[in-house]
Amino acid sequence: MSERRFRFGYVLAPKKVSSFIQDSLVNHAQEQGIDLIPIDLNKPLIEQGPFDCIFHKLYGPEWRKQLEEFSLQNPTTIIIDPIDAIEKLHNRISMLEVVNELKITQENETIGIPLQIFIQENSDSLLDHITRQGLDFPVIAKPLIANGTADSHQMYLVLKPEGLEELKPPIVLQEFVNHGGVIFKVYVAGEHVKCVKRRSLPDISEEKLGTLENLIAFSQISNLTAQDQNDDSFAALIENAEMPPLGFVTEVANQLRDALKLHLFNFDMIRDTRAGNRYLVIDINYFPGYAKMPSYETILTAFFLDIARRKQNNESG
C-alpha cells in the first residue's frame, strides 16, 4: 500500500471503547498507516472528518440521521456497518433464520439451528405451544430483543413444565441440546475468521433432570455445574474438545457475512452430541468483545488494511 495514511473514525459506547480501543490496537494500526480517531458525539458528524471509514456500534434515530447526512456528502467513506443490517441481529428469531439458508458444501459437517418458537403476548398456555411444536424439556427461554441491554441478557434454563409459569411473554423458547459443555465462539472481521473454545452449559441427562429445580437463571447456572465438576476438570474438558474443521468454520462465516451484509460479528456454535458432525448456531452478535480473542490487534488491523485497500481502489476508479 502507498505511504498515504488512512483515517478511521469510530463511535462506540464508553465500555466498548475501553475494551476495544486499547493502546496495543491503536499502535498496531498506526504502524500500518491507519489512524483510529474518536468521533465526538457532541458535534455534528458532518463537521468532522475527513474519514476513509467509520465503524460504529450505535443505534437510534439521531445517529442514523447523522450517518445518512454524512454519507450523502461523503459517498466514498466506507461505513462499517449499515444500521439496517445490524438491527436484524436485535431480533432472536430473524437473527437465526439466515442460518437455514446457508449452502454449506462440506461433505461431513452440517449446520443448522435448534428448534425454537416465539410466544407472543396473550397466547394459550406455554406448555400447549411447546407440545404442539414438538419441543422437549429442558428448553432455554430468551427475550425476543437482543440489543445488548441488561434485559436482553435475562435468560433461563427451563427444566420442567412448572418452570414455564414464571415466564412472561413475549419470549423465545429454544430447545436445549446437549453439546459436551463446550461452545465454539467464531469471531468474524471481514474475511478474517477465528474460532475459540469456551465453557458452556453442562449436558443434562434424564436422571439429572429429575433432581434439578424447575427454572434456573443463566446467572446461576454455575451452581448447576459446580455440583459435578471443579475448574480443573472444566479446563481439561475444554482442552480436550475437538475444534470444528477450519474449512467448515470459514465457509459458514463467509456465507453468514454475505447473507447478513455485516463485517464485524461473531456467532456461537455448538456440536450436537446426538450427531457429532452436526453443528448448531445458537446466537449471533454484532461487534462482539474482540479483545477476548487471542491476538485481536493483528486480526483487526488486517481487517482495517483490507478496508483501506478497498477505499484506495474505489478512489483510483
179 is in an annotated binding site: yes
Task: Show the beta-strand stretches assigned E in the chain.
Answer: 6-11, 34-38, 53-56, 78-80, 110-112, 116-119, 139-142, 156-158, 171-175, 182-189, 192-199, 215-217, 264-271, 278-286
String of b and e for 102-138 (b: at least 16 CB within 10 Å)? Answer: beeeeeebebebbebbbbeeeeeebeebbeeeebebb
- Residue 187 DSSP class: E
285 is in an annotated binding site: yes
185 is in an annotated binding site: yes
Residue 236: how many other CB atoms lie within 10 Å = 11
Q: Which of 134, 103, 112 is nearest to 275 (CA)?
A: 112
183 is in an annotated binding site: yes
- 45/315 Cα distance (integer angstroms): 22
172 is in an annotated binding site: no
66 is in an annotated binding site: no
176 is in an annotated binding site: yes
292 is in an annotated binding site: no
Q: Which of 32, 61, 67, 63 is nearest to 49 (CA)?
A: 67
User: In what side-by-side order are the strands of the sheet with 34-38?
Assistant: 34-38, 6-11, 53-56, 78-80
24 is in an annotated binding site: no
160 is in an annotated binding site: no
71 is in an annotated binding site: no
207 is in an annotated binding site: no
Phi and psi dihedrals of 153, rounded to 5?
-100, 5
Q: Is 4 helix (H, G, I), strand (E, B) or coil?
A: coil
175 is in an annotated binding site: yes
Handedness of CA 111, 112, 113, 115 (dihedral sign): negative
182 is in an annotated binding site: yes
The three three-digit cell numbers of residue 221, written as one number: 447456572
282 is in an annotated binding site: no
The three three-digit cell numbers of residue 256, written as one number: 453468514
266 is in an annotated binding site: no
60 is in an annotated binding site: no
147 is in an annotated binding site: no
289 is in an annotated binding site: yes
Q: Is 89 helix (H, G, I), strand (E, B) or coil?
A: helix
303 is in an annotated binding site: no
Binding residues: 16, 57, 92, 142, 153, 174-185, 200, 268, 283, 285, 289
Binding residues for Mg(2+): 268, 283, 285
Binding residues for 1D-myo-inositol 1,3,4-trisphosphate: 16, 153, 185, 285, 289
Binding residues for ATP: 92, 142, 174-185, 200
